[in-house]
Protein backbone atom coordinates (compact mmCIF):
# COMPACT_ATOMS: atom_id res chain seq x y z
CA UNK A 1 0.00 0.00 0.00
CA UNK A 2 1.14 3.59 -0.41
CA UNK A 3 0.46 7.07 0.92
CA UNK A 4 -1.86 7.83 -1.99
CA UNK A 5 -5.57 8.26 -1.39
CA UNK A 6 -6.91 5.02 0.03
CA UNK A 7 -10.17 3.45 -1.07
CA UNK A 8 -11.63 0.37 0.54
CA UNK A 9 -12.08 -2.70 -1.61
CA UNK A 10 -15.72 -3.76 -1.93
CA UNK A 11 -17.00 -7.18 -2.98
CA UNK A 12 -20.61 -8.30 -2.52
CA UNK A 13 -21.30 -5.36 -0.22
CA UNK A 14 -18.33 -6.19 2.03
CA UNK A 15 -15.79 -3.39 2.34
CA UNK A 16 -12.24 -4.15 3.46
CA UNK A 17 -8.57 -3.39 2.84
CA UNK A 18 -6.01 -6.12 3.47
CA UNK A 19 -2.71 -7.08 1.85
CA UNK A 20 -3.81 -10.12 -0.16
CA UNK A 21 -7.01 -12.19 -0.02
CA UNK A 22 -5.19 -15.15 -1.55
CA UNK A 23 -3.57 -15.67 1.88
CA UNK A 24 -6.97 -16.59 3.35
CA UNK A 25 -6.60 -20.38 3.02
CA UNK A 26 -3.39 -20.38 5.07
CA UNK A 27 -5.00 -17.99 7.53
CA UNK A 28 -8.04 -20.27 7.92
CA UNK A 29 -5.75 -23.23 8.73
CA UNK A 30 -4.01 -21.15 11.39
CA UNK A 31 -7.36 -19.98 12.82
CA UNK A 32 -8.51 -23.59 13.14
CA UNK A 33 -5.33 -24.36 15.11
CA UNK A 34 -5.84 -21.30 17.31
CA UNK A 35 -9.45 -22.33 18.02
CA UNK A 36 -8.11 -25.49 19.69
CA UNK A 37 -5.91 -23.33 21.92
CA UNK A 38 -8.79 -21.02 22.90
CA UNK A 39 -11.37 -23.30 24.52
CA UNK A 40 -13.11 -20.49 26.42
CA UNK A 41 -14.14 -18.64 23.27
CA UNK A 42 -15.15 -21.86 21.57
CA UNK A 43 -17.32 -22.78 24.58
CA UNK A 44 -19.01 -19.36 24.32
CA UNK A 45 -19.81 -20.04 20.67
CA UNK A 46 -21.31 -23.44 21.45
CA UNK A 47 -23.34 -22.21 24.42
CA UNK A 48 -24.63 -18.88 23.11
CA UNK A 49 -24.62 -18.91 19.30
CA UNK A 50 -28.32 -19.81 19.15
CA UNK A 51 -29.25 -17.16 21.74
CA UNK A 52 -27.40 -14.35 19.88
CA UNK A 53 -26.72 -12.24 23.01
CA UNK A 54 -24.80 -9.66 20.97
CA UNK A 55 -27.54 -9.13 18.38
CA UNK A 56 -27.70 -5.41 17.66
CA UNK A 57 -24.15 -4.78 18.80
CA UNK A 58 -21.98 -2.84 16.35
CA UNK A 59 -18.44 -3.48 17.56
CA UNK A 60 -15.43 -1.60 16.24
CA UNK A 61 -12.20 -3.34 17.09
CA UNK A 62 -8.69 -1.95 17.21
CA UNK A 63 -6.53 -4.84 18.37
CA UNK A 64 -3.55 -6.70 16.90
CA UNK A 65 -4.90 -8.50 13.81
CA UNK A 66 -3.58 -12.00 14.54
CA UNK A 67 -5.04 -15.48 14.24
CA UNK A 68 -5.97 -15.31 17.93
CA UNK A 69 -7.82 -12.05 17.34
CA UNK A 70 -9.52 -13.72 14.38
CA UNK A 71 -10.97 -16.30 16.79
CA UNK A 72 -12.28 -13.45 18.96
CA UNK A 73 -13.77 -11.62 15.96
CA UNK A 74 -15.53 -14.72 14.66
CA UNK A 75 -16.81 -15.47 18.17
CA UNK A 76 -18.33 -11.98 18.42
CA UNK A 77 -20.01 -12.52 15.04
CA UNK A 78 -21.28 -15.97 16.02
CA UNK A 79 -22.88 -14.34 19.08
CA UNK A 80 -24.77 -11.91 16.84
CA UNK A 81 -22.55 -8.82 16.64
CA UNK A 82 -21.74 -6.80 13.56
CA UNK A 83 -17.98 -6.22 13.62
CA UNK A 84 -15.49 -3.97 11.84
CA UNK A 85 -11.77 -4.24 12.58
CA UNK A 86 -8.43 -2.46 12.29
CA UNK A 87 -5.09 -3.33 13.82
CA UNK A 88 -3.82 -1.29 16.76
CA UNK A 89 -0.22 -1.56 15.53
CA UNK A 90 1.32 -0.98 12.11
CA UNK A 91 3.69 -3.94 12.43
CA UNK A 92 1.65 -6.63 14.23
CA UNK A 93 -0.86 -7.64 11.55
CA UNK A 94 -0.64 -11.20 10.32
CA UNK A 95 -1.74 -10.68 6.72
CA UNK A 96 -3.01 -14.25 6.39
CA UNK A 97 -5.24 -13.79 9.45
CA UNK A 98 -6.66 -10.51 8.12
CA UNK A 99 -7.41 -12.14 4.76
CA UNK A 100 -9.08 -15.15 6.41
CA UNK A 101 -11.37 -12.94 8.51
CA UNK A 102 -12.47 -10.98 5.43
CA UNK A 103 -13.08 -14.16 3.43
CA UNK A 104 -14.82 -15.78 6.40
CA UNK A 105 -15.28 -19.47 7.14
CA UNK A 106 -17.81 -19.90 4.31
CA UNK A 107 -16.42 -17.54 1.66
CA UNK A 108 -13.69 -17.58 -0.94
CA UNK A 109 -11.21 -14.90 -1.99
CA UNK A 110 -13.45 -14.26 -5.01
CA UNK A 111 -16.65 -14.22 -2.89
CA UNK A 112 -15.70 -13.03 0.60
CA UNK A 113 -18.40 -13.45 3.25
CA UNK A 114 -16.61 -12.44 6.40
CA UNK A 115 -15.96 -9.31 8.41
CA UNK A 116 -14.70 -5.91 7.23
CA UNK A 117 -11.01 -5.69 8.18
CA UNK A 118 -8.73 -2.76 7.44
CA UNK A 119 -5.20 -3.88 8.28
CA UNK A 120 -1.94 -5.00 6.72
CA UNK A 121 1.59 -5.37 8.04
CA UNK A 122 3.72 -2.29 7.47
CA UNK A 123 1.01 0.37 7.27
CA UNK A 124 2.27 3.94 7.14
CA UNK A 125 0.98 6.30 9.81
CA UNK A 126 -1.57 7.91 7.44
CA UNK A 127 -2.71 4.43 6.37
CA UNK A 128 -3.03 3.39 10.03
CA UNK A 129 -5.32 6.31 10.85
CA UNK A 130 -7.35 5.68 7.69
CA UNK A 131 -7.81 2.03 8.69
CA UNK A 132 -8.90 3.04 12.19
CA UNK A 133 -11.43 5.47 10.73
CA UNK A 134 -12.81 2.76 8.41
CA UNK A 135 -13.31 0.41 11.36
CA UNK A 136 -15.35 3.12 13.10
CA UNK A 137 -17.71 3.91 10.20
CA UNK A 138 -20.44 1.57 8.97
CA UNK A 139 -21.54 1.85 5.31
CA UNK A 140 -24.92 3.23 6.42
CA UNK A 141 -23.23 6.15 8.20
CA UNK A 142 -23.68 4.81 11.71
CA UNK A 143 -20.85 4.03 14.06
CA UNK A 144 -20.17 1.51 16.78
CA UNK A 145 -22.14 1.11 19.96
CA UNK A 146 -19.27 -0.89 21.47
CA UNK A 147 -15.53 -0.40 21.17
CA UNK A 148 -12.76 -2.92 21.73
CA UNK A 149 -9.60 -0.80 21.69
CA UNK A 150 -6.18 -2.09 22.75
CA UNK A 151 -3.99 0.97 22.24
CA UNK A 152 -6.56 3.72 22.77
CA UNK A 153 -6.22 5.23 19.29
CA UNK A 154 -9.79 4.43 18.20
CA UNK A 155 -11.05 5.95 21.45
CA UNK A 156 -8.88 9.02 20.84
CA UNK A 157 -10.25 9.38 17.31
CA UNK A 158 -13.84 9.27 18.60
CA UNK A 159 -13.14 11.84 21.32
CA UNK A 160 -11.27 14.17 18.95
CA UNK A 161 -14.06 13.87 16.39
CA UNK A 162 -16.64 14.84 19.01
CA UNK A 163 -14.42 17.71 20.18
CA UNK A 164 -13.99 19.06 16.64
CA UNK A 165 -17.68 18.61 15.85
CA UNK A 166 -18.63 20.59 18.96
CA UNK A 167 -16.14 23.34 18.09
CA UNK A 168 -17.39 23.41 14.50
CA UNK A 169 -13.88 23.25 13.07
CA UNK A 170 -10.75 21.16 12.86
CA UNK A 171 -7.66 22.92 14.20
CA UNK A 172 -4.79 23.56 11.82
CA UNK A 173 -2.05 20.92 11.82
CA UNK A 174 1.03 21.97 13.80
CA UNK A 175 3.92 19.82 12.52
CA UNK A 176 6.16 20.91 15.40
CA UNK A 177 3.78 19.83 18.16
CA UNK A 178 1.54 17.25 16.43
CA UNK A 179 3.80 14.48 15.08
CA UNK A 180 0.81 12.29 14.18
Tell whether 174 is covered by a domain.
no
Pairing between β-strand 117-118 and β-strand 58-62 as defined by DSSP bridges = unpaired
Nearest CA to 102 out of 1, 7, 10 is that of 10
Phi and psi at residue 45, to the nearest 5°: -60, -50
63 assigned to some structural domain: yes
Question: 130-161: per-residue pLDDT in tens?
Answer: 999 999 999 999 999 999 999 888 888 888 77
- Could you tell me if residue 3 is inside a domain? no
**Dist CA 111 CA 114 (whole Å):** 9
In the predicted model, what is the mean pLDDT of the chain? 93
- Which domain, by its residues, includes 92? 9-167
Better-scored residue on pLDDT, 140 or 173: 140
Q: What is the pTM of this model?
A: 0.90
Residue 173 domain flag: no
Considering the domain boundaries, does residue 180 fall inside one? no
Q: Domain of 67: which CATH number?
A: 3.40.50.1480
**161 belongs to a structural domain:** yes
Q: How many domains does the chain have?
A: 1
Where b means 16+ CB within 10 Å and e means fewer, 39-73 reads: eebbebbeeeeeeeebeebbbbbbbbbbbbbbbbb
In a domain, 176, yes or no: no
pLDDT digits (tens, 9 = 90+) for 12-34: 899 999 999 999 999 999 999 99
β-pairing verdict for 58-62 and 82-86 = parallel
Residue 152 within any structural domain of the chain: yes
| Pairing of β 14-16 and β 9-11 | antiparallel
Amino acid sequence: MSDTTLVADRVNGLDFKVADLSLAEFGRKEIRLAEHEMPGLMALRREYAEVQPLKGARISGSLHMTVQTAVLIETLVSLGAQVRWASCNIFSTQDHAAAAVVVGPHGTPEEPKGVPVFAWKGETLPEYWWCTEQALMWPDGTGPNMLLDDGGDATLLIHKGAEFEKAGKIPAFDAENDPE
